[in-house]
Chain A
C-alpha cells in the first residue's frame, strides 16, 4: 500500500501526458485512488498467481480519449479499478429501456483500456459481446452491469490472444429480482489473462450462469476468479467450467460463493473439470464456499485428469489414428460448457473459436449444437 513509490510515479507521469481534455476530474480522482492503493500484489490471496509487476512499466493505451461512464467507485474497488478508471479511453454507457428486447448484441471491442456501464431495464433482454484485443500488450476492460427486475443479459466474452497479449477483465453485476445473467467465456492463448466475475444476487429469484472454457498454452497464465454473493432467497447460480493446459501453461479457477444470512433456498452448483495435457502444465482450481444460511443447496466439484482411455480405445478401434482420436476427445471435452449457450449466434461463435484453436481442419458436422 505504498503511496508515491516509483512504479506508480510512472502512472502519475503518464497521466500528466494525457491530452488536456482527457484529464477530467473523474480521471484525476481515480489516479489519486490508484496512487493510494497501488496495483494488487501477489501477497494478496486473490492475486497469488498473477503478478502485475511487469505491467507497471507499460505506458497505458492509445491516446484517443473519449468520455467514459463516470460514477462512484464500487465498495470493493481496488487499485486496478482505479487504474482502469484513470486510463480507460472509451466504453459503452448504455441504458436499455424496460421491456425492450435487443436482438443485436452490444459490442464491447476495440483496443486500449475500456470502461463500460450497462443497465438493463425491467423485463428487458439484451446481449453483450465482449471481444478482447488479441494483440494487446496490456488491456483492461471493466464492466459495471445492472439488471433490473426480470431483466436478462447474455454475455459472450472471448480472448483469442497472441502469445504476448496481457488481458484483464472484470465484470461486476448487480442482479435485481428474478434477473438473469448468463455469461459465457472462451479464453484461448495469451501471456496473461486475468478475468474476474463478481455478481451480486441482490434480490430474490436472481440467477447467474457461467459457462467457461480456458486453454492455457505456451508459458501463458489464465487466472479466473468468480465471486457470487447470494444476498436474497431463491437465488440460483451455476458454474460449468472446463480448463485445459498444455506446454507449460498454467490455469487458475477460483470460485467463491457466499450465501449471506437470510438467502434461504439458494441453489448453487459449481462444476470444474480440468484436462492437463503435458507434464509441465498446471491448473489450480479451488471452490470457496461461505454459507451463512441453513436451507440451501450448494454443490461443487473439481476434477483433474487426462483423457478417458476407454473413449480413446473406442475411437482407435474404429480406425481413427491416435493423434486424431486425442484431438477429437480434447475438443469434445472443451466444448462441453459451450454447447448449452442459449443464444445460437453466441453458441456457434464460441464453438467455432474452440474448434479453430484446437484443430483447424475440423468441419462443422463434428459439433453438436
Chain B
C-alpha cells in the first residue's frame, strides 16, 4: 500500500531524512519508535504533504501513485490520514462544520454523493459516542480550548469520520490518561482491516499493548536503523536506544 524508497528530505538547509526505506502492506500495523529529533514527525509530514520540506532523493508511492506529487487534499481523498502530534486549534470553526466539510470534500473528489446535514449528524454522533466524547463538542471550535488529551481523542474521531486507508498516527498516545488510551486504542483497532494499514509513531510500549503491531522500526538519525517484531519494542523499553546507535 505504501512504499517509501530511500527517502531523503530536508528543512531549510538541514537534512533530516537520510534514506528511509519502508514498505507497508494492506492489513499491517507498523510502529516507528526512535529518539527525539530523529525525524519521525518529519517523515509523517512529508507523507501527508506539508509544505516546507524538500525531498532531495528517493520517493514514496501510495497504492501505486506517486504520493509526493499529490496535493495534501488529494492525498486525504485517496485515503491518507495524519494524526498530528500537535493538533491545531481553529477557533471559531465548529467541529461539526469542519468534519462535514472535510468528509464531503473527500467524497466529492472520489465521485461519491455528499452527505446532507441530517445524515451527517447521525453519522458523526455515533462516532462521537464511540470516542466517549460529549456531543456538545461538535458545536465548539476545532480543538479550541481542548486539553492535550481531548485533542488526541479528536484526531481519532476525525479518523473514524473520514475512514482513511492509511493511518499515520504521530504520537497520538502521548498525553493520554489510561482510560483515554484505551478509548483511542479501540478507535484505532476499529479501523484495522485487511484493506487498511497503520503507521504508529510512538515512544511507549503501553500503546502497543493495545494496538499490536506486526513490525517495529527504529528511526534514528534520519534512517531506519533496526526493524523487528513486537518484541523489539519491549527490548527498546528496557534498553533505550543507546545500544543501537553503537551498533
Give residues in A with beta carbon < 8 Å to B: 308-311, 313-322, 324-325, 328-329, 331-333, 335-336, 339, 362-363, 365-368
Chain B residue at minimum C-beta to C-beta distance from A334: B92
Among B77, B89, B90, contact of A315 (Cβ-Cβ < 8 Å)? B90
Are A367 and B73 closer than 8 Å at their CB atoms? no
Contact A318 B93, CB 8 Å, known A324-B105, A368-B139, A368-B141: no
Shortest Cβ distance from residue B109 to the other chain A in the assembled complex, whole angstroms: 7
- Which residues of B, 88-125, contact A by the 8 Å Cβ criterion? 88-94, 96-98, 100-103, 105-106, 109, 117
Question: CB-CB < 8 A to A324: which residues of B?
Answer: 101, 105
Offer 8 A-B interface pairs, CB within 8 angstroms, sorted by A. A309-B51, A310-B88, A311-B89, A316-B49, A319-B103, A328-B93, A339-B92, A363-B97
Closest-CB distance, B179 to chain A (whole angstroms): 26
B158 touches A316 (CB 8 A): no
Given A365-B117, A368-B139, A320:B92 Cβ within 8 A: no
Counting CB contacts under 8 A, is B72 at the interface? yes
Beta-carbon contact of A314 and B90 below 8 Å: yes
Is A314 in contact with B91, judged by CB distance below 8 angstroms? no
Contacts of A331 in B (CB 8 A): 92-93
CB-CB under 8 A for A365 and B162, given A316-B72, A317-B49, A317-B82? no
Q: Contact check, B71 vs A319: say whether CB atoms are below 8 A apart.
A: no
Q: Does B76 contact A (CB under 8 A)?
A: yes
Is B50 close to A, CB under 8 A?
yes
Q: Please, which residues of chain B bring their CB within 8 A of the CB of A309?
A: 51-52
Among B71, B77, B93, the residue within 8 A (CB) of A332 is B93
Check B84 for interface membership: any CB of A closer than 8 A: yes
Instruction: Indicate which residue in A315, A363, A368 contacts B140 across the interface (CB closer than 8 Å).
Output: A368
The CA-CA distance from A313 to B90 in the complex, in Å, is: 12
Also in contact, A313 and B51, with CB within 8 A (given A336-B91, A365-B117, A368-B140) = yes
Partner of A313, one of B50, B100, B139, B162: B50
Contact indicator B101/A317 (Cβ below 8 Å): no
Most B-side CB within 10 Å, residue of A308, A316, A318: A318
Known: A311-B88, A314-B88, A328-B101. A320 touches B73 (CB 8 A): yes
A8, B72: Cα distance in complex, Å: 61
Interface residue from A315, A339, A365 paired with B100 (Cβ < 8 Å): A365
Residues in A with CB closer than 8 Å to B82 are 317
Answer whether residue B144 sits at the interface, using C-beta atoms and an 8 A cutoff.
yes
> For residue B80, which residue of chain A has the nearest CB?
A317
Neighbouring B residues of A322 by C-beta, 8 Å: 71, 73
Interface string of B142-165 (1 = CB under 8 A from A): 001000000000000010001000
Q: Which residues from chain A contact B75 at a C-beta distance below 8 Å? A: 317
Which B residue's beta carbon lies closest to that of A311?
A: B88
Enumerate chain A residues within 8 angstroms of B103, measured Cβ to Cβ. 319
CB pair A319–B106 under 8 Å, yes or no, is yes
- The minimal Cβ–Cβ distance linking B192 to chain A, given in whole angstroms, is 21
Cβ-defined contact, A314 with B117, below 8 A: no
Q: A313-B72, A363-B117 are in contact. Are A320 and B105 (CB under 8 A)?
A: yes
Interface status of B87 (Cβ within 8 A of chain A): yes
* 3 tightest Cβ-Cβ pairs between the two chains A and B: A332-B92, A319-B76, A366-B97
**B48 adjacent to chain A (CB < 8 Å):** yes
Q: Quick one: which of B50, B91, B96, B101 contacts A320, CB cutoff 8 A?
A: B101
CB nearest neighbor in A for B45: A313
Known interface pairs A311-B90, A363-B117; A317-B76 also in contact (CB < 8 Å) = yes
Contacts of A319 in B (CB 8 A): 73, 76-77, 102-103, 105-106, 109, 162
Q: Separation in Å of the A214 CB from the closest CB of chain B?
A: 17
Instruction: List residues of chain B with CB within 8 A of the CB of A333.
Output: 92
Q: Give the residue name and chain of the B residue nearest to A320 (CB).
A: B105
CA distance A321 to B98 in the complex (A): 12
Chain A positions within 8 Å of B101 at CB level: 320, 324, 328, 366
Interchain CB contact under 8 A, A335 and B92:
yes
Residues of A contacting B106 in the complex (Cβ-Cβ under 8 angstroms): 319
Closest partner residue, chain A, to B92 (CB atom)? A332
Q: Of B75, B93, B94, which is in contact with the most chain A CB atoms at under 10 Å from its CB?
A: B93
Report A-chain residues with C-beta under 8 Å of the C-beta of B91: 332, 336, 368
Query: What's the least CB distance linking A320 to chain B, in Å?
Result: 5
Please give, as numbers and ranges, the residues of chain B lying within 8 Å of A314 by CB-CB distance: 84, 87-88, 90
Tell me the bound Cα distance from A332 to B142 in angstroms.
Answer: 11
* Nearest chain A residue, comparing its CB with the CB of B143: A314
CA distance A345 to B163 in the complex (A): 38
Given contacts A309-B51, A317-B48, contact A368 B92 (CB under 8 A): yes
Tell whether, in the assembled complex, residue B92 and residue A367 are in contact, meaning their CB atoms are under 8 Å apart.
yes
A225 to B195, CA, bound (A): 61
**CB–CB A316/B94 < 8 A:** no
Decide: B71 and A329 in contact? CB cutoff 8 A.
Answer: no
Q: How far is the CA of A366 from the CA of B104 in the complex (A)?
A: 14
